[in-house]
Amino acid sequence: MKKPDPLQAGTGRNSAPPETPGPSSHANALAWIGFSSVLLACIVWVAAHAFLVDTVTVRLCKKADKNIPTEKRMPVFLSEIALDGYAWNHNAEHLGENGEWRVRHTDFDNAPKGREVHWNSGFAWYLRGLGEIHRAATGDSLRNSIFRMSIWANPILLVLALGIFATLSARRFGPLCGTVIAFGMVATPMFYESFTPAYPDHHGLIALALLGLVFGIAWAGGGWVQPPDGTCLIPPRALKQARSGMAFSAICGAAGLWISGFSAGIVAIGIGLGIIASVGLFSNKASQATCTYHPELWKFWGFVTAGGSLFFYLLEYFPNHMGMRLEVNHPLYALAWLAGGWGICDLTAWLNRPARKLRDFPLWNVVACSGACLLLPVLILAGGSKFYVLLQPFMFGIMNSTSEVLPLLHRIHTGSLTWQAAFGYFPFFALAAFGLMFSRKVDAGSKAVLLPLLFPILLISVLQFRQARWAALNGSLYIALAGIVVLQVWRLVVPRGAIDRCLGAVLLLSFGYLIAEPSFKNCFQTAAWVQFRSGDKDSITSGQALALLHRQMARAILDDADGKPVVLLSSPNSSCLLAAIGGFKTVGTLYWENVEGLKAAAAGLNAQSDDEALDFMKEHGITHVSLMSWENFIGPYFSILYPKPPPGISYENSFAQRALFYHLTPPWARPLAFPPNDLSKGLRQTVLMLRVDPESKPQ
């Protein structure tokens, strides 16, 4: 019997233990010690980064608030990329109002009516729970407590995920795979960015769900199972183990549908195409390698995912909020997933037959499953914006004005993104996987598992060229692929001698350094570390200065309101910051559920006369207006409203343009006292805040 490589051998039922105690036992122990050390180092990495950001953020806010009474101090600010985090914190703060503990409606924006919300409630519950713990421990206000703990929210999730995913992968595929998974979760910028401190958003949960969705397929061998004494590297050695992998993938898929139905659906399509191609290409060779294909596992996968998706849908919407909103999780997604699993089962069962004949092709089953899968996109296209708001022309204009949804080549051409930042070194893992599929030294069973891991990456990469934001999803997929590819390459090229293993480890660490360097620099060689070491002599970044400036602006508006409710008109990004920090209501924010508020804000900021602007203020109950040159959105709003301006309509006549840049204050408004300060001067920002006072006399 061939002795297993200690770096590859796991401890579960799939693993063959060493024949006798001796050198291999010592090597196995060293391999697991190495894995445990890397896992611990990754956890320390995450905790240290969060501690740095928390310390610096709190210090900057205390310094800014030194002359403000404790009871009037504002919440800490978030990361400059965490605009959605301000909305999440608002949702968490207001959970339970009117007896509603699900995030289904908010008065945060689209004043005075508010709007529907279709984010998952789970993350809001999590933020609220952290905030309540901090409030109980410190006595601070709920809002301030939620903001403070939101610095730690995603790092805590990542630490938990590291323990779960790295340990599962190490037990299933051996300590080398677990090491790669753990290392990848902190060293992959596309993945780690979703867990950075002070970035409370559900993107981290999406990344974890997709990682589990794809890793579970590898765990299950894509449906291929080898005998207990088999020599293939990836396929499991027991049907029970394959079923466990499918269950894990399905549960993560259901969670992915709950959080972001479209993202999980795209990855599932890639998996389905990959397994169909895999069985078609490698069926005969895998069977010759004594692997047995179990197509019924895909039915099981579809059933579990569909059931989980339906459970999460009912948890969010039953019984009062059920409707045809196809932008998010809906029973039609569950139906499509169920039909997809069933179709994969029937089609690959036919492809796996040694002497398949065309007359045996399950035509009607495939047609029925395809029809059920296509029902969702057909209804989206047929229903238009009634079922899918993003199809509205106005929302197309908004998206084309937002950097994250611009085409990849456009962003690279304009210099806002580089090829290195967009892809890093991760395409090498995809190229290595393609190379492994053509290697005669790689067993057919393992080749059959690689394709379902590759196809989702290819599909997401195509979408990334259409919209750069899709890159965030590829991080999870590359981590899962890297865990399998590195394991397979190690088996091929690293002999069993101690010297050869040491050389292989050095090469692996060198490549790991190239992967980790950008992420490490972003965490520990940037402003957070410099500021942490500087003590009270803090220099601040432009993002921090912008957030601190918004805190000052929110304080000025609160002081002017003197305890009265505030309804604010501002640009989309400033609306998020000011309203969440100050507890205001606002109008226009960049969320598809708020298309009505966006249209209203566009019309208000681009009102063509003082009287028209005043009518808008009265209609929406606006008490204050906040304008600044940073991303003021006046121009994009105008271009979307008036692609071809009619006579008498001009950008120069827009209310916000006249007030902010031409200093023409309407007679019904009173400017707030907010003279230029170090922050506004350093950022080169013009700030204008107005109190709406229709009864005032012209100045």
Residue 270: its H or E element: helix 239-288
In this structure, are residues 86 and 576 in contact, taking their beta carbons and an 8 Å threshold?
yes
Instruction: Using the Cα atoms of residue 329, residue 330, residue 332 and residue 337 in order, give the sign of their dihedral.
Output: positive
Confidence of residue 493 (pLDDT cuts 50, 70, 90): confident
Instruction: Compute the distance between CA of residue 581 and CA of residue 93 in angstroms, rounded to an integer.
Output: 11
pLDDT (0 to 100) of residue 536: 59
Instruction: List C-alpha distances in Å: 79 to 100, 163, 178, 206.
Output: 29, 26, 30, 19
- High-pLDDT (> 90) share of the chain, %: 70
In this structure, are residues 353 and 360 in contact, taking their beta carbons and an 8 Å threshold?
yes
pLDDT (0 to 100) of residue 699: 53
**Are β-strands 568-569 and 292-293 bridged in parallel, bridged antiparallel, or unpaired?**
unpaired
Over residues 471-492, the pLDDT tens digits come to 889 999 999 999 999 999 888 8
Over residues 295-323, the pLDDT tens digits come to 999 999 999 999 999 999 999 999 988 88
Provide the β-strand partners of residue 116: 105
Instruction: Compute the distance between CA of residue 145 and CA of residue 89 in angstroms, rounded to an integer.
Output: 10
For the chain, the domains span 1-100+121-201+495-539, 203-493, 542-692
Structure tokens at 582: 């100050």
Rg of the chain in Å (alpha carbons): 28
**Are β-strands 292-293 and 224-225 bridged in parallel, bridged antiparallel, or unpaired?**
antiparallel
- Write the DSSP symbol of residue 163: I
Of 381, 347, 338, 337, the closest CA to residue 367 belongs to: 347
pLDDT (0 to 100) of residue 98: 82
497: Cβ contacts below 8 Å, ≥ 6 apart: none
pLDDT (0 to 100) of residue 383: 92
In this structure, are residues 95 and 124 in contact, taking their beta carbons and an 8 Å threshold?
yes
**Three-state secondary structure readout of 187-240:** HCHHHHHHHCCCCCCCHHHHHHHHHHHHHHHHHCHHHEECCCCCCCCCCCCCHH
pLDDT (0 to 100) of residue 537: 63
pLDDT (0 to 100) of residue 8: 61
Q: What are phi and psi of 698, to 5 degrees?
A: -60, 140
Instruction: Compute the distance between CA of residue 500 and CA of residue 27 in angstroms, rounded to an integer.
Output: 14
Over residues 154-207, the pLDDT tens digits come to 999 999 999 999 999 999 999 999 999 999 999 988 899 999 999 999 999 999
Q: Residue 326 pLDDT > 50, yes or no?
A: yes
pLDDT (0 to 100) of residue 24: 63
| Single-letter residue type at 472 | A
In this structure, are residues 150 and 89 in contact, taking their beta carbons and an 8 Å threshold?
yes
Instruction: Compute the distance between CA of residue 485 and CA of residue 462 in angstroms, rounded to an integer.
Output: 22
In this structure, are residues 72 and 183 in contact, taking their beta carbons and an 8 Å threshold?
no
Instruction: Compute the distance between CA of residue 497 and CA of residue 653 in angstroms, rounded to an integer.
Output: 78
Q: 72 or 559: whose pLDDT is higher?
A: 559
Structure tokens at 10: 């796991």
Q: Residue 388 pLDDT > 70, yes or no?
A: yes
Tell me what the mean pLDDT of segment 380-406 comes to: 87
Instruction: Compute the distance between CA of residue 186 and CA of residue 555 in angstroms, rounded to an integer.
Output: 37
For 224, how many CA atoms within 13 A lie in the half-sphere containing its CB?
34
Tell me what the mean pLDDT of segment 263-285 comes to: 93
Confidence of residue 13 (pLDDT cuts 50, 70, 90): very low
Over residues 335-368, the pLDDT tens digits come to 999 999 999 999 999 999 887 888 889 999 999 9
pLDDT (0 to 100) of residue 621: 95
Tell me what the mean pLDDT of segment 407-418 comes to: 84
Tell me what the mean pLDDT of segment 384-403 comes to: 86
Instruction: Compute the distance between CA of residue 200 and CA of residue 147 in angstroms, rounded to an integer.
Output: 9
Angle (nearest 5°) at CA 517 between 516 and 520:
80
406: Cβ contacts below 8 Å, ≥ 6 apart: 400, 467, 468
Tell me what the mean pLDDT of segment 101-113 comes to: 94
Residue 565 neighbours by CB distance under 10 Å: 11
Instruction: Using the Cα atoms of residue 94, residue 96, residue 100 and residue 104 in order, give the sign of their dihedral.
Output: positive
Range with the poorest average pLDDT among 110-119, 222-231, 512-521, 589-598: 512-521
Q: In the chain, what is the straight-line distance between the N-terminal and C-terminal CA atoms, in Å? A: 95
Locus of tokens 């929406």: 620
Instruction: Compute the distance between CA of residue 179 and CA of residue 35 in angstroms, rounded to an integer.
Output: 5
581: Cβ contacts below 8 Å, ≥ 6 apart: 74, 75, 77, 86, 550, 551, 554
Q: 24 or 640: whose pLDDT is higher?
A: 640
Range with the poorest average pLDDT among 39-48, 510-519, 537-546, 649-658: 510-519
Confidence of residue 86 (pLDDT cuts 50, 70, 90): very high
pLDDT (0 to 100) of residue 12: 47
- High-pLDDT (> 70) share of the chain, %: 94
Instruction: Compute the distance between CA of residue 70 and CA of residue 272 in angstroms, rounded to an integer.
Output: 57
Tell me what the mean pLDDT of segment 415-439 comes to: 86
Confidence of residue 247 (pLDDT cuts 50, 70, 90): very high
In this structure, are residues 575 and 588 in contact, taking their beta carbons and an 8 Å threshold?
yes
In this structure, are residues 494 and 504 in contact, taking their beta carbons and an 8 Å threshold?
yes
Q: b/e for 61-88, b at 16 or more Cβ within 10 A?
A: beebbeeeeeeebbbbbbbeebbbbbbb
pLDDT (0 to 100) of residue 413: 87
CATH topology of domain 542-692: Rossmann fold (3.40.50)
pLDDT (0 to 100) of residue 497: 65
pLDDT (0 to 100) of residue 23: 47
Over residues 611-649, the pLDDT tens digits come to 999 999 999 999 999 999 998 999 999 999 999 999 989
Structure tokens at 40: 């611990």
Confidence of residue 498 (pLDDT cuts 50, 70, 90): low
pLDDT (0 to 100) of residue 524: 67
Q: Residue 214 pLDDT > 90, yes or no?
A: yes
Locus of tokens 């401190």: 197
Instruction: Compute the distance between CA of residue 234 and CA of residue 76 in angstroms, rounded to an integer.
Output: 47
Instruction: Using the Cα atoms of residue 33, residue 157, residue 457 and residue 304 in order, give the sign of their dihedral.
Output: positive
Q: What pTM does this model have?
A: 0.92
In this structure, are residues 476 and 211 in contact, taking their beta carbons and an 8 Å threshold?
yes
Mean pLDDT of the chain: 89
**Are β-strands 624-628 and 568-569 bridged in parallel, bridged antiparallel, or unpaired?**
parallel
Instruction: Compute the distance between CA of residue 153 and CA of residue 205 in angstroms, rounded to an integer.
Output: 11
Helices (H), 362-497: 363-383, 393-400, 408-414, 419-423, 427-437, 444-466, 471-493
Over residues 504-516, the pLDDT tens digits come to 777 777 777 777 7
Q: Residue 403 pLDDT > 60, yes or no?
A: yes
In this structure, are residues 223 and 348 in contact, taking their beta carbons and an 8 Å threshold?
yes
| Single-letter residue type at 658 | R
Q: Residue 81 pLDDT > 50, yes or no?
A: yes
Confidence of residue 16 (pLDDT cuts 50, 70, 90): very low
Q: Residue 1 pLDDT > 50, yes or no?
A: no
Q: Residue 72 pLDDT > 90, yes or no?
A: no
pLDDT (0 to 100) of residue 528: 72
Confidence of residue 21 (pLDDT cuts 50, 70, 90): very low
In this structure, are residues 107 and 584 in contact, taking their beta carbons and an 8 Å threshold?
no
Q: 143 or 404: whose pLDDT is higher?
A: 143
Provide the β-strand partners of residue 625: 569, 690
- Write the DSSP symbol of residue 164: I
Confidence of residue 113 (pLDDT cuts 50, 70, 90): very high
Provide the β-strand partners of residue 671: 690
Over residues 369-383, the pLDDT tens digits come to 999 999 999 999 999
569: Cβ contacts below 8 Å, ≥ 6 apart: 586, 587, 588, 601, 604, 605, 617, 620, 622, 624, 625, 626
